[in-house]
Amino acid sequence: MLKELNMKQVVFIDRDGTINHDRGYIYRVNDFEFIPGVLTALQALTRAQKKNIIVTNQAGIARGLYTEEDYHHLTQHMLQELAAAHVKIEGVFHCPHHPNGSVPAYTMACLCRKPNPGMLEQGLKLVKSSAAQAVMIGDKNSDIEAGLCLNMTTYLVETGYGIEEKASTQAHYTVANLAAAVEHLLKV
């Protein structure tokens, strides 16, 4: 099974709680902080020539807590930090929707909001790959369920909400953090 995992070429990674500390709705650069070990893990994926894609629910936009522009500003900051650390990210997809939002343009049920697989499908199209070649790593069962919808191998990390969600997860693997997921994924 480990050799099969190493053959996976696309790695979908949740943002809040998996890449950075989740302290509520993160949209300001000053509030963004990588979880220890994340940069090293992402560097290892880059060296292994994996196609890394970030997928993130951003309900704060639908709830009027911040704007799309705020989200994009923070995303640019994150991507600059990752590029400076020699991490390659193929794409970043976000869902600004929520069925209980307060901003009418974003208040809806959609196919992109995890646990739906819409962002993953968009990412697979971007890199011209199939779900059989992909894994999903996240700290919430909604991340895991999105990956399972497409029959991906899934990792629940115990950072963010993972500690609370691990008792009810259907993830293939539960690991301490992104670094542990990457170490497991890259074993031959």
SS3 15: coil
- CA 72 – CA 140 distance, rounded (Å): 23
Here the contacts of 117-122 (C-beta below 8 Å, separation 24 or greater) are 117/146, 117/147, 117/149, 117/150, 119/55, 119/93, 119/94, 119/95, 119/146, 120/12, 120/55, 120/146, 120/147, 120/149, 120/150, 120/152, 121/150, 122/91, 122/93
- Among 14, 22, 139, 143, the active-site one is 14
CA neighbours closer than 13 Å in the CB half-sphere of residue 128: 0
In the set 16, 22, 139, 143, the catalytic residue is: 16
- Is 14 one of the annotated active-site residues of the chain? yes
Q: Residues 53, 10: contact at Cβ < 8 Å?
A: yes
Is 16 catalytic? The answer is: yes
Which residue numbers are catalytic? 14, 16
